[in-house]
Structure formats: C-alpha cells, structure tokens
Amino acid sequence: MNRLSLFLAAGALAVSTVSPPTHAHGQSSSRLQLDLVEAVPRTLTLSLGLLDLLHLVDLDSNRDGQLTWGEISASERRILDLVTASLSLRDGTGACDLSTNDNATSLTTLEGSPALRVVLQVDCPPALETDRLRLGYQLFFDDDPTHRALVTVNRGTGEQSFLLTSDRRELALAGPVDSRR
C-alpha cells in the first residue's frame, strides 16, 4: 500500500459511512492563512477536511469508500472553482484576484484527519487599500451551520487570528501591510 493510500485509509471508513448532510466526524472546520506581506506573491492558503469536502464534491468516483489521489486530482478543477467562488478579498473600491497555479493542491492533515491544502495567489490592484481589506468566506456554511474557519493573517509584523462562523462570514483586516520586505 503506498503512502497516499495509508494516509487516506485513516478516513476511508468514515468516508464510506458518512452520508450528507450528516457530519459524523468532529467539528467541521477549516484553516485559512493569508499572507499580506508586501512581497510578491501574496498567498491565501486554505486547508479543508476531506470529509467536509465530500459533502460538496463527489470525490469517490468509483464508489468504493476509499479516496485516492487520482480521484481527488480528477476533481481538482471543481474543487478550485468551488473554493475561489466561496472566497473574496476586497476593499470598498475593488477586489483582489484569487488564482491558482499548477501545484495549487496537496494533501495535509487538519485536526488529525486527512485534508486538502489549496494555495491561491492573491493579486490586488495597485490602488486597492490593503489596510481596508475585507475577507469573505462562504464555504460549508450552507451545508453545516456549525462549521468554523480559523483565519490567520500575516502582515510581516505579526499575526492576527480570527474566527469565521455562519453568523460572521466576513471580517475586516484592519492595519497596514508591511512594506519592509
């Protein structure tokens, strides 16, 4: 059994027994890391549990109750479209473009369970006021109102942490961007 199969085997039993919209595993959560240091490229990294993702995207294409990297990769475009449609970064005058490159997804763990990491490139228009940015997040809330998203913002001078919930789907990212880098 290869390393990926071993990694995914931990969640395979739960994957085969969980049927949407019931969340039989622990608290539904995701992690967002937003790096707003003035260096290029700025990034937004999202880690989301594979069991949560199964409620939104049909990943187990052969219905065998086990996920393979091939199945996840085959659904990558749908996953990336869902993620980019569920996130926004803007100020009062415009929005940042969130895009991906060829290596946008990888496997990770989140609270001890298999997860998918998605790295987005953040490209903000030059006139955008980065000290007045607002981050919007809509992923999973319609499927699971108890979902939580922990957001960490790195501005180069320190990190700030926030919690997004179904009642608070947007937050203001006050403070200037570090331009020393």
Residue 179 resides in a domain: no
Peptide bond into 41 cis (omega under 30): yes
Into how many domains does the chain fold?
Answer: 1
pLDDT at 82: 93
d(C-alpha 73, C-alpha 100), whole Å: 14
Q: Would residue 143 be called left, alpha or beta, if left means φ above 0 and alpha means ψ between -120 and 50 degrees?
A: alpha
Residue 181 resides in a domain: no
- Residues 6 or more apart whose CB falls under 8 angstroms from that of 71 comprise 59, 60, 61, 62
CB 71 within 8 A of CB 60: yes
Q: Which domain holds residue 65?
A: 3-22+29-174
Residue 161 resides in a domain: yes
Residue 180 resides in a domain: no
Residue 45 resides in a domain: yes
Residue 111 resides in a domain: yes
56 three-class SS: coil
pLDDT at 129: 64
pLDDT at 36: 77
pLDDT along the chain (181 residues), means of 10: 42 38 63 80 90 90 90 93 92 85 91 94 75 87 91 85 93 58 32
CB 152 within 8 A of CB 159: yes
Residue 87 resides in a domain: yes
